[in-house]
């Protein structure tokens, strides 16, 4: 989960120039938070970035990144809770950039924070739609493009990477539907890695813990509006910190670095793995 903080996002100070040179990277949920920070790092490391979000804000954020590296920066809006939306995002990337090398699935996030018995059926469905289906649909939409990167001369040649952003909230409280969705994301990694390996496509995930981020410009859902809801949310915060061996939230930079590592060729022998990035909390 992300904790809002005042001011701008972390100033990312550690980069690997040209790490994503000549690569096209789709980043979903790219208008703010971890998604924007990932897009920013990849742009600065010379990748061509396709920023996808359902908020129009993504176009302004793309303008911020234009010219920061050797690659281009594109942006498009799409509803990734539908397959049609996911396919439109991939088609846009192929039209603008000509190919796709990496997909980073960042869409998701808790909408409500409360004990499971207080969720309505409609709220449960919305949580699953928000935090599972965008990853499920984007994986399906992008696979043909990744498989089609047919550099078969070297049997070890990597043709594509999918990095899913999961969560250690699979072991958390007051977020059962969200935890179920992120558990599904982890299952996608395990199962799809088996299928995709013979195409030289890697499938991995980072599982962030609590993360400090600027206040969201576009909210996921209603903010707590009474004392009980505030108390339930505070229980999540307390449990997140307590479960971390480092007893704190992480920074945006501490989340983006491992995501970008997993997306890069430096991680070429890692697939089917979910990496907890949560100060020691295994989820």
Based on the structure, what is the number of domains in the chain? 1
Average pLDDT over residues 227-248: 96
Domain of 176, in residue numbers: 16-275
Does the pLDDT value for residue 224 go beyond 90?
A: no
State residue 254's pLDDT score.
96
Mind telling me the catalytic residues? Answer: 178
State residue 227's pLDDT score.
96
Average pLDDT over residues 57-80: 97
Give the chain as a 3 state SS string: CEEEECCCCCCCCCCCCCCCCCCEEEEECCCCHHHHHHHHHHHHCCCEEEEEECCCHHHHHHHHHCCCCCCCEEEEECCCCCHHHHHHHHHHHHHHHCCCCEEEECCCCCCCCCCHHHCCHHHHHHHHHHHCHHHHHHHHHHHHHHHCCCCCCCCCCCCEEEEEECCHHHHCCCCHHHHHHHHHHHHHHHHHHHHHHHHCEEEEEEEECCEEEECCCCCCCCCCCCHHHHHHHHHHHHHHHHHCCCCCCECHHHHHHHHHHHHCHHHCCCCCCEEEECCCCCC
Kindly indicate the confidence band of residue 223, based on its pLDDT and cuts at 50, 70 and 90.
confident
Report yes or no on 2 lying in a domain. Answer: no
State residue 221's pLDDT score.
76
Report yes or no on 11 lying in a domain. Answer: no
Kindly indicate the confidence band of residue 1, based on its pLDDT and cuts at 50, 70 and 90.
low
Average pLDDT over residues 170-193: 97
Report yes or no on 283 lying in a domain. Answer: no
Q: In CATH, what number is assigned to the domain containing residue 90?
A: 3.40.50.720
Average pLDDT over residues 135-144: 98
Of all residues in the chain, the percent with pLDDT exceeding 90 is 86
Does the pLDDT value for residue 151 go beyond 70?
A: no
Does the pLDDT value for residue 6 go beyond 50?
A: no
């Amino acid at each position: 989960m992300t904790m809002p903080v005042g001011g701008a996002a972390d100033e990312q100070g550690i980069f690997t120039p040209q790490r994503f040179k000549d690569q096209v990277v789709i980043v979903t949920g790219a208008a703010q938070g971890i998604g924007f920070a990932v897009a920013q790092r990849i742009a600065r490391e010379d990748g061509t970035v396709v920023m996808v979000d359902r908020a129009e804000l993504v176009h302004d954020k793309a303008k911020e990144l234009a010219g920061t590296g050797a690659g281009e920066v594109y942006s498009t809006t799409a509803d990734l809770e539908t397959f049609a939306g996911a396919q439109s995002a991939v088609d846009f990337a192929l039209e603008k950039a000509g190919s796709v090398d990496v997909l980073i699935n960042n869409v998701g996030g808790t909408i409500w924070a409360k004990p499971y018995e207080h969720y309505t059926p409609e709220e449960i469905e919305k949580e699953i739609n928000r935090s599972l289906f965008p990853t499920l649909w984007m994986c399906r939409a992008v696979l043909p493009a990744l498989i089609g990167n047919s550099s078969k001369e070297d049997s070890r040649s990597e043709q594509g990477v999918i990095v899913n952003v999961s969560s250690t909230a699979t072991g958390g409280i007051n977020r059962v539907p969200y935890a179920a969705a992120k558990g599904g994301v982890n299952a996608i990694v395990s199962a799809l890695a088996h299928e995709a390996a013979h195409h030289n496509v890697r499938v991995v995930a980072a599982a962030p813990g609590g993360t400090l981020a600027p206040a969201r410009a576009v909210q996921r859902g209603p903010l707590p509006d009474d004392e009980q809801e505030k108390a339930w949310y505070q229980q999540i915060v307390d449990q997140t910190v307590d479960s971390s061996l480092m007893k704190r939230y992480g920074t945006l930079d501490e989340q983006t670095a491992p995501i970008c590592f997993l997306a890069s060729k430096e991680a070429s022998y890692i697939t089917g793995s979910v990496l907890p990035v949560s100060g020691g909390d295994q989820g």
